[in-house]
Structure 1
Amino acid sequence: MSVENVLARIAELHQGLVPPSTAAQSAVNGAQFATMLQGQSSSAGVAAPAGAATTLGFSGATATTAGQRALAFAQGEVGQTEQPPGSNDSPRIADYRSSTAGSGIGPWCAYFVSYAAQQAGAPLGEAGQGFGSVSAVSAWAQRTGRWNPAASGTPPQAGDLIVWGGEHVGIVESVDPDGKIHTIEGNSSNAVTRRTHDASGDGATGYVRLG
């Protein structure tokens, strides 16, 4: 006799020794337990992953403007680093460069925002060509009415690009009630990094509204 047959026979004998009411209750309990497990399994399938909520309370699925969509993308890139440090390169940074026509290995903050804008469906440039230089980003923004000079005193919004002359560009993540500006910046300490600036943006020259 096989092991399976022996186990089956033992189960039959044990069932015969259990009073009918107890056996019925055991069956009910077993069914309830199975249902509970099934419910837990279903819930696990739809639960949001830990850390899914963003600082601003929206994700790529709920963002409504191009700037918010670009920001949602940028939030997922925080921590990407140069490989090796100081090289201005990595497989992911090569992806950022792909959004910019004629790009080459070099300072990549403008590549990063160009890629984020492209992923948001609002590529930078009249032809969607992206930009490899910060000055080209601000010049395009001024030509097309997207430029908000810092001197105007109008604070940026989440999803705006923040520009420092021709030197550096990032994405505004949030603005505190006291005016402090939180950003996500590519090519900051050789990585995609979160930064906090004072109400002036630590000398920012302007902001770019993506839409």
Structure 2
Amino acid sequence: MSVDAVMLRIAELQQGLQPSTPASDGAAAPASTFSALLAGQAGTTASAALLPTASAAGQTAGQRALAAAQGEVGVAEQPPGSNDAPRIAQYRQATAGSGIGPWCAYFVSWAAQQAGTPLGEAGQGFGSVGAVASWAQRTGRWNPAGSGTPPQAGDLIVWGGHHIGIVESVDPDGSIHTIEGNSSNAVTRRTHGADGDGASGFVRLG
């Protein structure tokens, strides 16, 4: 039922409940006035509820990927050390032809896919950290550590060819908070120094 239809029905009910003799103190507002006020308030609320928030409407691809990653914190291998679990198997599906194995690159590939910006020229995702870094360098998305361009929320953070995560936030002192798949056998939040504790670079998703 539309908002207008609801307001019309409220007006009808108010009219039916209105006493035949107005209150002498004038405290009771006429039904039409009450309904109009209610309609105005409800219409404003309903319209606001239907509109996307400014933050959601203006999110970058990296921020959307980060939002996907944040919902996965705590996902763990079953059993620990197996590089596998039902949810981790879903991360693998974001890559082309990847099997059970170290899954930090699977995780960021999955997050990017959820954001609508899959990794790779063909959106194939990557099963290795080195492949992510090479693609980023080929396509102008690579920001070497120490280049003077600070990372931002939603960037991928890369450590050589062996590990990758996603930046969640950066403190004023430069400390970098991340979400990393395959960290202590789980999707885990970590905090690193301003140099990323030896990070080699960052990937800007968009």
Shorter chain as normaliser: what TM range? 0.7 to 0.9
CA contact (8 A) 1:70 1:159 kept: yes
Deviations 1:167-189 (A, max 9, x none): 10000000000000000000000
Instruction: Return the offset for 1:119.
Output: 0.3
CA contact (8 A) 1:160 1:207 kept: yes
CA contact (8 A) 1:147 1:209 kept: yes
1:151 partner SS = coil
In the alignment, structure 1 residue 198 sits paired with structure 2 residue 193: yes
Match of 2:102 among 104, 107, 113: 107
TM-score by length of 1: 0.71
CA distance in 2, matches of 1:134, 1:152: 20
Corresponding residue for 2:178?
183
TM-score by length of 2: 0.73
Instruction: Return the offset for 1:155.
Output: 1.1
Q: Which amino acid aligns with 1:141?
A: A
Corresponding residue for 1:98?
93
Match of 1:151 among 143, 146, 150: 146
CA distance in 1, matches of 2:129, 2:102: 10
Instruction: Return the offset for 1:63.
Output: 5.8
Root mean square deviation of aligned Cα = 1.5
Corresponding residue for 1:89?
84
* CA gap 1:195/1:148 in 2 versus in 1, 3 angstroms: same
1:178 partner SS = coil
2:123 partner SS = coil
Question: Which runs of 4 or more aligned residues in structure 1 lie more than 4 Å from their structure 2 counterparts after TM superposition?
Answer: 58-63
Give structure 2 stretches of 5+ with no counterpart.
Answer: 1-52
Q: Which amino acid aligns with 2:165?
A: G
2:130 partner SS = helix
State the percentage of identical aligned residues: 83
Instruction: Return the offset for 1:151.
Output: 2.6
* CA gap 1:63/1:70 in 2 versus in 1, 3 angstroms: farther
Q: Which amino acid aligns with 1:167?
A: H
Deviations 1:4-42 (A, max 9, x none): xxxxxxxxxxxxxxxxxxxxxxxxxxxxxxxxxxxxxxx
Q: Which amino acid aligns with 2:164?
A: V
CA distance in 2, matches of 1:82, 1:161: 22
* CA gap 1:69/1:60 in 2 versus in 1, 3 angstroms: farther
Match of 1:118 among 113, 118, 125: 113
Deviations 1:120-171 (A, max 9, x none): 0000000000000000000000000000000313210000000000010000
CA distance in 1, matches of 2:144, 2:172: 20
CA contact (8 A) 1:63 1:69 kept: no
Give structure 1 stretches of 5+ with no counterpart.
Answer: 1-57
Q: Which amino acid aligns with 1:89?
A: D
Instruction: Return the offset for 1:59.
Output: 11
In the alignment, structure 1 residue 161 sits paired with structure 2 residue 153: no
1:36-115 superposed matches below 5 A: 61=56, 64-115=59-110
CA distance in 2, matches of 1:117, 1:186: 13
1:123-134 superposed matches below 5 A: 123-134=118-129
2:77 partner SS = coil
CA contact (8 A) 1:183 1:195 kept: yes
CA distance in 1, matches of 2:58, 2:168: 13
